[in-house]
Amino acid sequence: MTGDNRNHILKEPERIKSAVALHQSAAPVRYCGRDFTMEEMKIISEIVRTKGLCRTAISVKICERFEWRKADGKLKDMSCRVALLRMERDGWFSLPPSLNRNGNGDGKPYKHSNMLNDNQPLLNLSAGEIGDISLDIVKTPVESRIWNEMIHRWHYLGYKRLVGAQLRYQINSRYGVLGALGFGASAWNVQAREDFIGWSRQIREQNLNLIVNNCRFLILPWIKSRNLASRVLGLVAKKLPNDWEDRYKYRPVMLETFVEKKRFRGTCYKAANWIYLGETKGRGKLGDYSKLYENVKLIMVYPLCREFRSVLQQSQ
pLDDT tens per residue, range 10-57: 444 455 545 555 555 467 888 887 889 999 999 999 999 998 889 989
- The rounded distance, in Å, linking the Cα atoms of 48 and 97 is 12
> Is residue 65 located within the same domain as residue 154?
no
Q: Within 10 Å of residue 146's Cβ, how many Cβ atoms? A: 20
Q: Within 10 Å of residue 52's Cβ, how many Cβ atoms? A: 6
Q: Within 10 Å of residue 126's Cβ, how many Cβ atoms? A: 12
CB-based contacts of 203: which residues, under 8 Å, 6+ apart? 312, 313, 314, 315
- Of the residues 89, 113, 138, the one at which a domain ends: 89
> Is residue 79 located within the same domain as residue 131?
no
Asked, for residue 112, whether it belongs to a domain, the answer is no
pLDDT at 217: 96
β-bridge partners, 182: 168, 216
Could you tell me the residue range of the domain that residue 33 belongs to?
Answer: 3-89
> Is residue 82 located within the same domain as residue 186?
no
Q: What are phi and psi of 286, to 5 degrees?
A: -100, 10
pLDDT at 2: 42
> Is residue 284 located within the same domain as residue 164?
yes
Handedness of CA 125, 127, 133, 135 (dihedral sign): positive
pLDDT at 1: 43
How many structural domains is the chain composed of? 2
pLDDT at 151: 93
Extract the residue ranges of the chain whose pLDDT is less than 70.
1-26, 100-115, 283-294
pLDDT at 31: 85
> Is residue 137 located within the same domain as residue 52?
no
pLDDT at 288: 52
- Which letter, b or e, does each residue of 264-286 get, where b requires 16 or more Cβ atoms within 10 Å of its Cβ? eebebbeebebeebeebbebbbe
> Is residue 130 located within the same domain as residue 85?
no
Asked, for residue 181, whether it belongs to a domain, the answer is yes
